[in-house]
Chain A
Amino acid sequence: MRILVWFSLFLLVLGILISWISTITQEFSVMDYGYGKIAFPPKYSQYYWSVLVAGPPRGEVIVNGTVIYKGIIEEVQFQKNQFYVYAVNGKIQPYADLSPLGLLLILLGTGLGLRSTALALQEKYVKESFEIEGKGLTTYLAKRSGNLISSLIVILIITILIEIKSGFTVIKAVQHLLTFNLGNGIYGVSVDSLLLTSLSFTDLLTGVSFILTVYLSTFLTLRAYSSKGYIYFIISRWKYIGNALSSWVIGIGLLYLGNFLSYHHPNFIFPVISLFFPYIGIFANKMLFSIQTIPREVIAKGLTREILMYKHVMGNLMLVTLSTISAAFVEMLIAEFLVESIFGWPGLGTLARISVDSGNMRTIEGILLFYSTLVLMSNAISDMVYGFLDPRVRK
C-alpha cells in the first residue's frame, strides 16, 4: 500500500509540474512574404498565443528592411506593388496542450492518494491488509460509462442547438463538434488555443487549492470527530461562514486588504487563499455530518481507540469523501471561475468574462463544451478509480 501512496504523491507532483510547464510563455513570431499592393498576414490563429497573459499577437509589415506598419493584425494596403514581409509577433505557451493531462493527473493523484493513505494507516494500526475484490466491478464500470455517454449526448445536443441559434446549419454544427474545431474566438485566435492556454493557469490554481482542501479537510474531520473539541465547534459552524464569506467575497476582501497595505499586484497566493479558506470548512462540515456514528455494539466489543478510529470512522469517512470528491472538484472549478475573474488570473474564468463582455459566442461555446468534457471525464475517472479500490462504492 505504501507504494500506492508514493505513486499518488508522484502523480500529484507530476500534475502540478506539468501544469506549471504548460503556463511557461516565450516570444514567438510567424512570418510570411509576398508581392503586391496588399500585404496579407500569415496564418497565425492555430498557435498557442498567450493572449490573457501577454495580450493579443501584433502584426508588423516590413518593406525594404523598414517597418512600415505595426498594430493589430489586418491587411495592409500599399501605394504600389512591392515585396513585403508580414510578421505576427507575440508570446505563446508552447506546452499548453499538456494542460488537460496536468488536471487529470492532479485529480487522479488526489483521490488515489487519499484512499491509499487511509488504507496504509488501516494496515499500520488495524493490521488489516487490503485486497482488491473484482466482484461487481464490470457492472459498475458499464453503468458509469453509460452515465458518461448519456450526459455527453445531452451536452452535445445543447451545444448543437446553440450553434444553430448562432446561424450554423446542423451539419456544420455537428462537423465543428466532431472535429473539436470551433473556429476563431477573441483576437482572431482559435478557440482551441484560447481554451488550452487558459486551462494551464486554471490547472495550476485548482491543483494547489484542491489538494490542500481535500487533504486538510479530511484530516480536520478526523480530528474533529475524535476530539469533539474546538475543531468540532469551528467545523460545525463553518458551513455558515463558508457560505456567507464565499470565495469571491473573500477575493474582493483580499483586494481591499492589498489596497490598504499598498500591495497592488495580487499573485498566486491571494486566489489560493480565496478558494481554500471557505471550501476547507464546507467540505469538512459536509464530511463530519455524513459520518455515521459508530454502532453501540461495535463500541461494546471493547475495541481499542485505534481500531475504532482507523477502521470504523476512517472507513466511513473515506466512503463519504470518495463519493463526493468529484462533486467537490466541480464546485471548486465554479468557484475558481469567480475568483479568477476577480483577480484577473488568466484562466478559463477570465476567458469567460472577456468573451461574454465582448459578445464572442464561439469562445463561450468552446468553454461550455470544454468545461463539460472536463467535468464528465473527472467524474468518470474518480468513479472508476474508487469503484476499483473500494467495493462499497459500487453499491
Chain B
Amino acid sequence: MPKSMIFFIIFIILSIFFYFFILPSGKPLQPPSLEYPLGTYLNGNNMINTNADAIVNTLIFGFIVGIIETTLALSFGYFSGISKRNIEIFMARVMDGVTALPRIPLLLAIALIYGTPTGNSLISNFFFVILIVALTGWSNYARQVSKTISENKIITISKELLPKFPFYLSLSLSSTSLKIFGKKIIIPAMVDGISTYTAMGVIAGVGDPSFPTLTTLLTTSSKLLPDWWLFLIPALLRAVLVVSLLYIADKVK
C-alpha cells in the first residue's frame, strides 16, 4: 500500500473519530491554547470537532459525487462505445453538449431556483447540490470511456458485421476497460465534485448549515480576518485532503 494511502486513511480515521467524539466547547472565538489546541469557532465549538465535521462532510460530498459521476460515465460511455456509428455520433454530441455547458453559472441558477437566499448566502440542500453537481460533471469521463471502447478492434468489427451486437458479448469485451476506467475516474471525480462545491460556496455562499464543509469554514473566515485560526488550519487541512486525493489518483493511474 503506498505511503500516501496510509497517510490518507489515518487522516480520515482521525477526522471520523473527532466527528463523533465531542470535545469540550468554550467561549466563541478563543485563540489556540492548551485547553483548545485549535481554538474555538463562532458558536464556541472546539475547532478540532468543527474541522473534523467539515472534513467528513467534504468527503461525503466528494464520495457521492464520485460514485454518481463514475456510474454515469461508465454506463453512458459503454453504451455509446458499443452503439452503431450514427447513435454513437449522436451520443457523442450529447456528451459534448453537457461538457460545453457553463457549469458554475448553470449550477448557481439551479441552486437559486430551489434554494433560499438569505442576503449574504444561499441555503441549498446538501444532497440536492450533490445531485446537480454530479449530473453536470460526468460527460468528460464518459467521452474517454466511449472512445476507448469504440477503439477496441473486436468491438469495431463486431459492430460492423453483426446485425445486433449481443449485450453479454460487448460487456465481456469491455469489462476490463470499464474496471480500469472505474478506478481511474472515481478519485478525479471526487476532487471535481469538491472543487465545484467550493466554487459555488466561494462565489455565491451556496451551502447547507446542517453540513458545513471546509469551504464553509474558509469563506466564513474571510470575514473574520483577525481570527487567524479560522483560516490557517482549515486551509492546511484542505490542502492535505486535496493533495492526498490527487496523489492517490496519480498512483492509481
In the complex, whether B68 has a CB less than 8 A from a CB of chain A is no
Give the chain B neighbours of A334 by CB distance below 8 A. 104, 199
Task: Please give the distance in Å from A258's CB to the nearest CB on chain B.
Answer: 8
In the complex, whether A17 has a CB less than 8 A from a CB of chain B is no
Task: Please give the distance in Å from A249's CB to the nearest CB on chain B.
Answer: 5
Give the chain B neighbours of A29 by CB distance below 8 A. none
In the complex, whether A130 has a CB less than 8 A from a CB of chain B is no
In the complex, whether B171 has a CB less than 8 A from a CB of chain A is no
Selecting from A33-41, A47-55, A368-376, the interface stretch reads: A368-376
Give the chain B neighbours of A365 by CB distance below 8 A. 109
- The 8 Å CB contact of B113, one of A239, A342, A361, is A361
A244 touches B238 (CB 8 A): yes
A94 to B81, CA, bound (A): 53
In the complex, whether A63 has a CB less than 8 A from a CB of chain B is no
A245 touches B239 (CB 8 A): yes
In the complex, whether B43 has a CB less than 8 A from a CB of chain A is no
In the complex, whether B161 has a CB less than 8 A from a CB of chain A is no
A356 touches B205 (CB 8 A): yes
Task: Please give the distance in Å from B128's CB to the nearest CB on chain A.
Answer: 15
A137 to B154, CA, bound (A): 33
- The 8 Å CB contact of B112, one of A151, A249, A359, is A359
Within 8 A of A (CB), among B51-105: 93, 96-98, 100-102, 104-105
A352 touches B203 (CB 8 A): yes
- The 8 Å CB contact of B117, one of A155, A166, A359, is A359
User: Quick one: given A356-B108, A364-B112, are A256 and B205 in contact (CB under 8 Å)?
Assistant: no
Task: Please give the distance in Å from A263's CB to the nearest CB on chain B.
Answer: 11
A356 to B108, CA, bound (A): 7
In the complex, whether B163 has a CB less than 8 A from a CB of chain A is no
In the complex, whether A259 has a CB less than 8 A from a CB of chain B is yes
A253 touches B235 (CB 8 A): yes
- The 8 Å CB contact of A154, one of B97, B119, B226, B243, is B97
Within 8 A of A (CB), among B220-252: 221-222, 225-226, 228, 231-232, 235, 238-240, 242-243, 246-247
User: Quick one: given A341-B203, A352-B108, A364-B108, are A252 and B222 in contact (CB under 8 Å)?
Assistant: yes
B117 touches A358 (CB 8 A): yes
User: Quick one: given A244-B239, A352-B203, are A239 and B101 in contact (CB under 8 Å)?
Assistant: no
Task: Please give the distance in Å from A154's CB to the nearest CB on chain B.
Answer: 4
Closest A residue to B120 by beta carbon equals: A357
A368 to B204, CA, bound (A): 14
User: Quick one: given A256-B231, A358-B117, A364-B112, are A338 and B203 in contact (CB under 8 Å)?
Assistant: yes
Chain B residues within 8 Å of A, Cβ to Cβ: 93, 96-98, 100-102, 104-106, 108-113, 117-122, 191, 195, 198-199, 202-206, 218, 221-222, 225-226, 228, 231-232, 235, 238-240, 242-243, 246-247
Chain A residues within 8 Å of B, Cβ to Cβ: 147, 150-151, 154-155, 158, 162, 165-166, 239-240, 243-246, 248-249, 252-253, 255-256, 259, 334, 337-338, 341-342, 349, 352-353, 356-359, 361, 364-365, 367-368, 371-372, 375-376
11 A/B residue pairs, CB under 8 Å, sorted by A: A150-B93, A155-B101, A162-B109, A243-B243, A248-B218, A249-B218, A249-B235, A259-B226, A349-B203, A356-B204, A368-B108
Sample of 15 further A-B pairs with CB below 8 A, known A352-B203, A367-B108: A150-B93, A249-B235, A338-B199, A338-B203, A352-B108, A352-B204, A356-B111, A356-B112, A356-B204, A356-B205, A356-B206, A361-B109, A364-B108, A364-B112, A372-B105
